[in-house]
Structure 1
Amino acid sequence: MTPNPHPAIRRARDFGIPFDGVPGPLNALTDVPGVHVGFSTLVEETPRLGRRLPVRTGVTAIVPHAGSAEPVPVFAGVHRFNGNGEMTGAHWIEDGGYFVGPVLITNTHSVGMVHHGAVRWMLDRYRDTFDGGEPLWLLPVVAETYDGLLNDINGQHVTLEHVFEALDGAASGPVAEGNVGGGTGMIAYGFKGGTGTASRRVDVGASSFTVGALVQANHGQRDWLTIAGRPVGRLLSQSDPVLAERGSIIVVLATDLPLAPHQLQKLARRGAIGIGRNGTVGGNSSGDIFLAFSTANPHPLRHRAGPVLSLEMINDEFLDPIYQAAVQSIEEAVVNAMVAARTTGGTPHDRYRIEAIDAAAVARLLARDLASG
């Protein structure tokens, strides 16, 4: 079993919940070299003056090629499984096959502020790399899920400083999960949800690569929940049994495999299978949107590049294990988000109290089913 690199927070594997595949050293998106993750988390249990609800929200930042002194385009693909949500820049990724800059995830009503902050951050960070004040064309990727059941979403409490905090704090190493960043106020399968991550190692020919997933899980309803192939949601009690799906899930896949844009689009499509492993049907109210990008084949900004770009790409005939790695990573990332999350709400100011999943009880259910055949 891979040791937990962040022992302060227990993860699904720490409870003996089984998953297929071989994870990377951290079992996280940051197992992909050069990919950094950062957070800004806002938690205020007492409503602000003139407001009725507590503040529980934030920003998650993913920075490809984090050590680069100038923007590096990354090949990418997107997929919309159910479109009740937002991911900015998706149209250009579909047409151009790449994006430039960070990927950020927040709540539904903060997309504009986070996009504005990401552009400002890039202008400041890369100013010195452009002679003569050359203007930049910037289109960062910002995605969202709705946290209005546990957060004063209409108060729009995310500021530029929170965006900068998430981006400036992005780092390699273990990734926090549960009630952090954009996942702070999210709900999954009637339990407290949020941020989760996982990774898988993939061997292609004589080389070894990594596929990592990070999710902001805010989707599903209790009776759908499936873990390790078992319908555990039907066996776990729920204080509000009519709490139906009202949210979404964002999946970000990163890899160091040399994949072309059309291959990354196909990889992003496998996000639907990954989240389906945990039981969701992609409900009408859910925005299930997936992004896949590769740090391989780095090129300069297109207007600085020559007329011909060279790239390496995996033979399509070798993609199946890569698809499998993506599905496995997403499945585990969703469960990690729930296991790491903490019970939230239930104050005099709240409409809901959302319990964290009892991972030990899940493990006992799975062990009992396994023992009974």
Structure 2
Amino acid sequence: MKIREYGITIGHLPTGVHNCITDVEGVAVGHETIREDLEDGEVIRTGVTAILPHDGNLFREKVIGASHVINGFGKTAGLVQVDELGTIESPIMLTNTLAVGTVLQSTVKEMLTQSPEIGDTTGTVNVVVGECNDGHLNTIRHIAVREEHVQRALQNASTTRAEEGAVGAGTGMVCFGHKGGIGSSSRCTDHYTVGVLVLSNFGKEQDFEYARYKGRHTEEAIAETDGSIIIVLATDAPVTQRQLKRIIQRCSIGLGKTGAYFSNGSGDITIGFSTAHRIPHQSDEKIALHVLRDDEEEMYQLFKAAAEATEEAILNSLAQAETTTGRKGRIVEAYPFRK
């Protein structure tokens, strides 16, 4: 169940139809979940999640993109070029830390098939990959993610409400000492939509604001402190890269409100894109983008939407997750939300 089904409402802005990142028109999400029991108590509890900004050719029709590093203990790929050029030209892929290379190469292969000109008559392609370390539950050294898993995550991408919890890249993740993973939420301003999807893998239960206010700490939570979160924000608002970066910086407000302190070993990273404009890879035309003014009331609403949707997406990652048994018999319980 989503967190609202437990009677918990976050913020003031209304949600979209699905209360999901896919409420931003054209955005699709796909998962591939890998669960396998090995020998000697080792298991595979990992996967891949793909976020597609639109259903066209992303290399030929890029979107405005930006990233913001809240705390940089992470192994992401592709963000240097995103920050330099202000565009995203690939699906945004999420997985575990040691699978970044496999996911990067596999996604490149898919894009080479889709666009034969890459590396031939035009430049190479910049693929964005985010990660969190699922090694508490997943035998991460086994490096279980393979090319076919990436292909299936991309093929499974759908614009309907995305699956959440212990699925895809979130299969082995832990949040506030309980089972975390994929969570999503959306907000509607007067004219635009903001959607957020998170891969949550951070925090100590004693810092979890919901637990502290409700007095619902449990004995089952694990005691790990460090961890990570990848926050992906989509919007249909017409903004520049600079404005988009300002919007995604507000995701850290929602993250902090859940109880995160951005610990030393935490990779807390936000990636954002706008679907309002498609930027052709090659064009003879000079392009003028029509964008919002910074001092518009609408911009304030977008800031608020980013914070609210991030906070609720994190809570949804907990509310939708299931108790999971991992390597060496480790059990991470689902958080015991109650109505």
TM-score range, shorter chain: over 0.9
Instruction: Compare 313-322 and 64-73 and name the one that shifted more.
Output: 64-73
One-letter amino acid matched to 1:59:
V
Give how far 1:56 is off: 0.3
Give the number of equivalent residue pairs: 336
User: 1:367 is matched with which residue?
Assistant: none
Q: Residue 294 of structure 2 is aligned with which of 316, 341, 354?
A: 316
Give how far 1:352 is off: 2.2
One-letter amino acid matched to 2:114:
R
For 2:226 and 2:261, locate their aligned partners in 1 and report how far apart those are by CA, in whole Å: 13
For 1:291 and 1:131, locate their aligned partners in 2 and report how far apart those are by CA, in whole Å: 24
Give how far 1:15 is off: 1.4
Contact 1:225–1:234 under 8 Å retained in 2: no
Q: Is 2:30 aligned against 1:30? A: no
RMSD: 1.9
For 1:192 and 1:202, locate their aligned partners in 2 and report how far apart those are by CA, in whole Å: 31
Q: 5 Å matches for 1:1-373?
A: 10-20=1-11, 21-44=13-36, 46-47=37-38, 52-68=41-57, 71-127=60-116, 130=117, 134-203=121-190, 208-227=191-210, 231-232=212-213, 235-240=216-221, 243-301=223-281, 304-306=282-284, 308-318=286-296, 319-345=299-325, 349-360=327-338, 363=339
Rate the CA distance shift 1:342–1:15 in 2: closer, same or farther, 3 A.
Answer: same
For 2:288 and 2:270, locate their aligned partners in 1 and report how far apart those are by CA, in whole Å: 27
For 2:150 and 2:317, locate their aligned partners in 1 and report how far apart those are by CA, in whole Å: 21
For 1:234 and 1:119, locate their aligned partners in 2 and report how far apart those are by CA, in whole Å: 48
Determine helix, strand or coil for the equivalent of 1:315. coil
User: 1:371 is matched with which residue?
Assistant: none
For 1:138 and 1:151, locate their aligned partners in 2 and report how far apart those are by CA, in whole Å: 30
For 1:288 and 1:18, locate their aligned partners in 2 and report how far apart those are by CA, in whole Å: 24
Rate the CA distance shift 1:186–1:131 in 2: closer, same or farther, 3 A.
Answer: closer
For 2:218 and 2:119, locate their aligned partners in 1 and report how far apart those are by CA, in whole Å: 63
5+ long unaligned stretches in structure 1: 1-9, 364-373
Rate the CA distance shift 1:81–1:233 in 2: closer, same or farther, 3 A.
Answer: farther
Give how far 1:323 is off: 0.5
One-letter amino acid matched to 1:176:
E
Give how far 1:70 is off: 6.0
For 1:165 and 1:30, locate their aligned partners in 2 and report how far apart those are by CA, in whole Å: 19
For 1:195 and 1:258, locate their aligned partners in 2 and report how far apart those are by CA, in whole Å: 27
Rate the CA distance shift 1:26–1:342 in 2: closer, same or farther, 3 A.
Answer: same
Contact 2:68–2:249 under 8 Å retained in 1: yes
User: 1:3 is matched with which residue?
Assistant: none
One-letter amino acid matched to 2:90:
G
Determine helix, strand or coil for the equivalent of 1:277. helix
Contact 2:66–2:86 under 8 Å retained in 1: yes
- Consecutive aligned runs of 4 or more in structure 1 exceeding 6 Å deviation: none
Contact 1:258–1:297 under 8 Å retained in 2: yes
User: Which has the higher Rg, Structure 1 or Structure 2?
Assistant: 1
One-letter amino acid matched to 2:218:
S
One-letter amino acid matched to 1:282:
F
For 1:234 and 1:353, locate their aligned partners in 2 and report how far apart those are by CA, in whole Å: 22
For 2:171 and 2:202, locate their aligned partners in 1 and report how far apart those are by CA, in whole Å: 14
One-letter amino acid matched to 1:61:
A
For 2:94 and 2:320, locate their aligned partners in 1 and report how far apart those are by CA, in whole Å: 18
Contact 2:181–2:199 under 8 Å retained in 1: yes
TM-score, length of structure 1 as denominator length: 0.86
Contact 2:167–2:182 under 8 Å retained in 1: yes
One-letter amino acid matched to 2:33:
T
TM-score, length of structure 2 as denominator length: 0.94
Give how far 1:108 is off: 0.2
One-letter amino acid matched to 1:283:
S
Contact 1:149–1:351 under 8 Å retained in 2: no
Instruction: Compare 190-199 and 263-272 and name the one that shifted more.
Output: 263-272
One-letter amino acid matched to 1:18:
T
Determine helix, strand or coil for the equivalent of 2:295. helix
Percent of residue pairs identical: 36
Rate the CA distance shift 1:145–1:234 in 2: closer, same or farther, 3 A.
Answer: farther
Rate the CA distance shift 1:131–1:359 in 2: closer, same or farther, 3 A.
Answer: closer
